[in-house]
Amino acid sequence: MLKSKKCVLFYISLFITVGIAVLIFILSSKPAEVSNSQSLWVTEKLLFWFDEEDISKYNSLIRTYAHAFIYSIFELSLIFLLRVINWGTKRIFKVSILIVAFYAIFDELHQNFVEGRSTQLYDVAVDMTGALIAFGVFWLIYMIANSRKSDNL
């Protein structure tokens, strides 16, 4: 019973992780004009009380936060996937951060082949910041949970 539950968790977490990677790839495959118009639409919906001039100022900021957010979710899904297969925390940190870093670099290099887009080291840094924040949150929760377990013994 336990093995079948773990197998289901593995495949669900694998599906989610791959799904996030595919979503990132699809979003970065859009030409710059399309991507910018979509992010402007999102910005308008998030900041509906500002005038149009202010919306354009915030668009870049929201795009940056979106980068960090999607890569933090990617990192958390990788952590969960690696936890399901019983990897240790240090190994999870090394592997998950490396996977996210390679994927962020791959994604930026891929954008060289998309109309109006280019490779930007800044985007990789933002992506990795999101991943590191996600891992920090995971680490904090892990440490709190383990300290409570040792207090209950």
Number of domains in the chain: 1
Helices (H) and strands (E) in the chain, counts: 5, 0
**Is residue 42 a part of any domain in this protein?**
no
Q: Which amino acid is at 50?
A: F
Helix axes 89-110, 121-152, angle to 10 degrees: 160
How confident is the chain (153 residues) per 10-residue block, as mean pLDDT?
Answer: 80 96 95 88 80 74 91 96 89 94 96 90 95 94 81 56
Give me 45's structure tokens.
């919906």
Mapping DSSP onto H, E and C, the string for the chain reads CHHHHHHHHHHHHHHHHHHHHHHHHHHHCCCHHHHHHHHHHHHHHHCCCCCHHHHHHHHHHHHHHHHHHHHHHHHHHHHHHHHHCCCCHHHHHHHHHHHHHHHHHHHHHHHHHCCCCCCCHHHHHHHHHHHHHHHHHHHHHHHHHHHHHHHHC
In a domain, 102, yes or no: yes
**What is the model's pLDDT at position 151?**
61
**For residue 57, is it within any domain?**
no
Residue 40 lies in a domain: no
Residues of the domain holding 148: 2-33+66-152
Give the whole-angstrom CA distance, residue 61 versus residue 145: 34
The answer to whether position 48 is within a domain reads no
56 within domain boundaries: no
Whether residue 50 lies inside any domain: the answer is no
Residue with tokens 């995971």: 138
Q: What is the pLDDT of residue 1?
A: 43
Structural domain contains residue 147: yes
* Per-residue pLDDT, 53: 66
